[in-house]
Amino acid sequence: MVLKQLLRVVCAVSFSVLAISVVSAYPFFQNLILPPNHLSTLTASTSQQAQSLLAWVTVYKMQLTMAMFLVLAILTFALFILDQEFRARLRHKLSPNVDHNNFQVSDPALMQKITLSRLGFLVALIATFILITITYQSYVNQTIVILWAISVFVFNLTGTYFFGSLKRAHQMERLVNKLHTHIKNKDEAQEKLLQAEQRLKQQSISLAYLASTQLNKHTEPETFYQALVKQSAETLNVARVSVWLYSDDKQELICHTLYDLKSQRYLSEQVLYAKELPQYFGALAKSRVVAADDVYQHSATQEFLSDYFPSHQIGAMLDATIWHDDELMGVICHEH
C-alpha cells in the first residue's frame, strides 16, 4: 500500500511539473505553427524558439530541479521498499516451513514494479543531470550548483546500490528456484519409490494369500475364484477382474466370477460364444496372453467395440489363459 501511494505521488508530481511547463511555455509552442508564407524564416524562427525555451528553463530552473530531486527521492524510497519486499520473499522461500506444493517461482507484479521503478529512476536521474548541465551557468551563487552536483552524485550512488542489490536478489531467487525444483523432484521420486514399495508389499501379501487358498478338493471353486478376482483387482488396481471357464466343446466362455472394484461387489454371470467372437477365441487359442493397451486398436478385441467396451467404459484389457495338464481351461481377464 505504501509503495502504491508513493507511485501515485510520483505521477502527481510529474504531471504537475508537466502542466506548469506546458502553461509557461505556451507562447513558445504557439509560435511553432507557422503559416505557409513564413517557411523561408524557419531557421531563424527555430533558433529564436530554442532560445525562448532555454530562457524559460533558466527562469524556472530552481523549481524544476527541486521537482526532479523530489521525484528521485520518491523513486529511491520505492526502490528501498521493493528491495526489502524482494528479500522478504527470499527469506520466506528459504524458511523450513515453506510449502513446496504451493511454491510460487516468481511474482510478476513485483517484478513489474521493480522494472518500472528502475526505469523511472534512470530517466529522472538523466533528466536532472541534463537540467543542471544546461542551467548551472545562470546561477549567481555557484554553491547551489555544487549542492546540486553532490545530490546527483549521492542519488547515483544510492541508485547503483539498490540496482545491484535487486540484481543480486534476483540471482539468488533463481538459485532458490533451482533448489526448490531439486527438492520437489526428490520428494516426488521418494513418493514414487514409497508407492512402489507399498505395491510390492501388497502384491506379496496377495500372492501369499492366494497360495494359501489353492483350489483343491477341499476348496469350493466359487470361493477360490472370488478370492482370486478380488485380490487381483485390489492389488493391480484395475476396474474389473473376472474368471471365465470354457465349456467342454471350447465353443463357450462362461463367466464364473466377476468383481467390480468401484462398487466392490460381484456381478452376474455372462457367456461369450465362439461363433460370435471368432477373432477373440482364436487369439486365446494361439497365445497364452492377450495384452491390449488400447482395446479400440488391438486386432483381438475389435469384436467387443460395438457394445461391451463402451457400456463398461473399458480402455485396456489383459487376458491370461488358464491351463491344466496342457489343456486350455479358461481365462482370467483384467479390464480397466
pLDDT of residue 45: 58
| Residue 324 to residues 234, 247, 271, Cα–Cα distance (Å) | 26, 14, 21
Mean per-residue pLDDT, 103-115: 79
Q: What is the predicted pLDDT for the residue at 100? A: 61
pLDDT of amino acid 225:
79
- Average pLDDT of the segment spanning 73-91: 88
Residue written as grid cell 548541465: 133
Question: Region 208-225: what's the mean pLDDT?
Answer: 65
Average pLDDT over residues 81-107: 77
DSSP string, 102-139: T--S--HHHHHHHHHHHHHHHHHHHHHHHHHHHHGGG-
Alpha-carbon gap, residue 336 to 237, rounded angstroms: 9
Compute how many other C-beta atoms are within 10 angstroms of the C-beta atom of residue 23.
8
pLDDT of residue 128: 86
CATH superfamily of domain region 221-335:
GAF domain (3.30.450.40)
Residue 238 has pLDDT above 80, yes or no: yes
281 Cβ contact list (under 8 Å, min separation 6)? 253, 272, 274
Indicate the domain borders of the chain.
2-189, 221-335
pLDDT of residue 146: 87
Q: Which of 21-35, 210-224, 235-249, 265-279 has the lowest mean pLDDT?
A: 21-35
Supply the pLDDT for residue 256: 85
Is the pLDDT confidence value at 86 over 80?
yes
| pTM summary value | 0.50
What does 74-91 look like in DSSP terms, one character per residue? HHHHHHHHHHHHHHHHHH
Residues in the chain: 336
Which pLDDT score, from 0 to 100, does residue 23 have?
39
Distances (CA, A) of 38 to 29, 31, 45, 48, 50: 16, 11, 9, 14, 17
Give the helix/strand (H/E) hosting 169.
helix 142-212
Higher pLDDT, 213 or 68: 68
- At 77, is the pLDDT very low, low, confident or very high (cuts 50, 70, 90)? very high
Torsion from C-alpha of 167, 124, 69, 11, nearest 10 degrees:
-100
pLDDT in tens, 154-182: 888 988 898 888 888 888 888 888 878 88
Average pLDDT on 87-101 reads 75
Give the Cα separation of 117 and 5 in Å (integer). 13
